[in-house]
Amino acid sequence: MIVFRILETKNKMKHKFSSLLLGFMCFSGTIVKSQDTTAKILKDTDHEKMVWFKEAKLGIFIHWGLYAVDGISESWSFYNEYLSHEDYLKQLSGFTAANFKPKEWAKLIKDSGAKYSVITSKHHDGFALWNTNYGHLNAVSHAAAKKDVLSPLIDALKEKELKVGIYFSLPDWSSDLYTHFTTSKRRYAIEQDPQRWQQYLNYMNGQLLELKNNYTPDLWWFDGDWEHPPEAWESTKIRTSLLKGAPNTIINSRLTGQGDYQTPEIGVPVYRPEAKYWELCMTLNDSWGYQQTDNNYKTSQQVIDIFVDCISKGGNLLLDIGPKADGSIDPIQKERLLELGSWIRKHHKAVYETEKGIPYEHFYGPTTLSKDKQTLFLFVRDIPKDGKIVVKGISNTIHRAYVVGNGSILSQNKIAKLYWNKYPGISYIDLPKETIDTYYTVVALVLDGPIELYSELNGVL
């Protein structure tokens, strides 16, 4: 259901399908290992500026716009001609933000365990949440809200010491200056009217500069780059301009070729991505924005499954919420964030400031490593039938095994260790029932030094 609903809209498009955005996909039943072709990122990204991102692990994505009024798909509903553009814009009168409490949003995001948030300043429909001087389609001039809703949210996020990411759609399907209007209607082709395209770029860059100057975001989250090649977007120029005076700002991979990190969407990477920095964006149900008819919410277990999968593979999860048009947040969405947050708080040592874990050959489950590589965290989802977990091929001495967030010291015994070779044997660690967590129990193995994995191919002799 999940992928179907989202892809259903896209399949209507006349473009050839490419894996550019959805990232890390497998096709036609053949196993295709993740390839770096999915999102072209810069090779010379400054690693210093990526530290907070790498250690953050969780961000909260916010899709808030006109589409929440009728509960229809963000921008795509009119693009794919499910309703007219005129009817889509009628939602302006329902976008009230009457119960919008930015401080409560920021608190919820903080309580989810996230370290940053990314908010849709403008989706493909061109509706801007801030008081832009470029165009009239915005929350202040035309919507029932009659106020800038972006500024107070960004202030509240900063007050909570959360990093701020701004989502910005390169396409603006409502602008007369833009090439694409709907799936069957193009306004013009760039080659036919380069001047008009230049006017669009001026408009778009004007908005970007407003956002930069108003909010000095920590991260830019671009979307929609697939509609034109990077030369048409002048993506190099955009990056230079956004980083001028703000060199530590991070840019996602959808400013084609100019991004700092890879941006897979929905598809949880099966294989560990090769990219040093990546972030999976994911919906809580099957919709980015609020859709009252969509009750296909992932359970808390499933949300935590996805989160653990991402961090054990060295990536971040950008988990989406879709607030209602009045600014309130659905109780189920709140509950999922809070449940994730309380699990993360209990296990924070195994989550933040960790690195990707070890290969599955050593432990049949997700793992992370402390920054000094001296503590290995094992994420145990299913209760072992004999109450023991198994770790193989670790050459270090395990000084201590304990349950994170619970403190119990665990007993262990080793089998198949000979004195006359280096094969490290197999460790069995007892996991008493009383220590089991509702979602994942995390066992920390404190090692005698940085982890050393036994990797001789031929075994003992």
Alpha carbons 256 and 233: distance in angstroms, whole number: 9
Closer Cβ to ligand H79, 13 or 32, answer by number: 13
Q: Judged by CB, which is closer to ligand H79: 281, or 311?
A: 281
The correct pick among 2, 20, 190, 270 for binding ligand H79 (CB under 6 A) is: 20
Q: Where are the beta strands (DSSP E) in 58-148?
A: 58-62, 116-122
Give me the half-sphere count of Cα atoms (radius 13 Å) on the Cβ side of residue 410. 29
Q: Are residues 44 and 302 in contact, defined by beta-carbon separation less than 8 angstroms?
A: no
Whole-angstrom Cα distance, residue 44 to residue 8? 37
CB of 64 to ligand H79, least distance (A): 11
Task: Select 79 or 377, whichever has its Cβ closest to ligand H79.
Answer: 79
Cβ proximity to ligand H79: between 223 and 339 the closer is 223
Q: Binding ligand H79 by CB under 6 A: which of 53, 62, 72, 74?
A: 74
Min dist. Cβ of residue 170 to ligand H79 (A): 11
Sole window of 12-20, 354-362, 405-413, 420-428 interacting with ligand H79 (rule: CB under 6 A): 12-20
Total residues at interface with ligand H79 (CB under 6 A): 13
CA angle 316, 321, 326 (to 5 degrees): 155
Q: Smallest distance from the beta carbon of 179 to ligand H79, in angstroms?
A: 14
Name the minimum Å distance from CB 264 to ligand H79.
Answer: 11
Q: How far is the CB of 288 from ligand H79 (least distance, A)?
A: 4
Distance from CA of residue 304 to its chain's centroid? 14
Contacts (CB under 6 A) with ligand H79, residues 270-309: 281, 288
Q: Three-state secondary structure along 335-371?
A: HHHHHHHHHHHHCHHHHCCEEECCCCCCCCCCEEEEC
Among 2, 13, 426, 436, binds ligand H79 (CB under 6 A): 13
Region for 24 from its dihedrals, namely left if φ exceeds 0, alpha if ψ lies in -120 to 50, beta otherwise: left
Min separation Cβ 460 and ligand H79, Å: 51
Does 225 help bind ligand H79 (rule: CB under 6 A)?
no
Among positions 18, 184, 202, 248, the unique one binding ligand H79 when judged by CB under 6 A: 18
82 binds ligand H79 (CB under 6 A): no
DSSP labels, 412-436: EEEES--TTS----EEEEE--GGG-
Here the tokens at position 345 are 């708080």
Q: What value does the CA radius of gyration of the chain take, rounded to a whole number of Å?
A: 24
Q: Which pairing describes strands 316-321 and 58-62: parallel, antiparallel, or unpaired? A: parallel
Q: Which of residues 256-275 bind ligand H79 (CB under 6 A)?
A: 265
DSSP code of residue 255 = S
Among 3, 17, 274, 438, binds ligand H79 (CB under 6 A): 17
Q: Which residue from 52, 82, 181, 226 is in contact with ligand H79, where contact means CB under 6 A?
A: 226
Would you tell me which residues interact with ligand H79 (CB under 6 A)?
Answer: 10, 13, 15, 17-18, 20-21, 74, 223, 226, 265, 281, 288
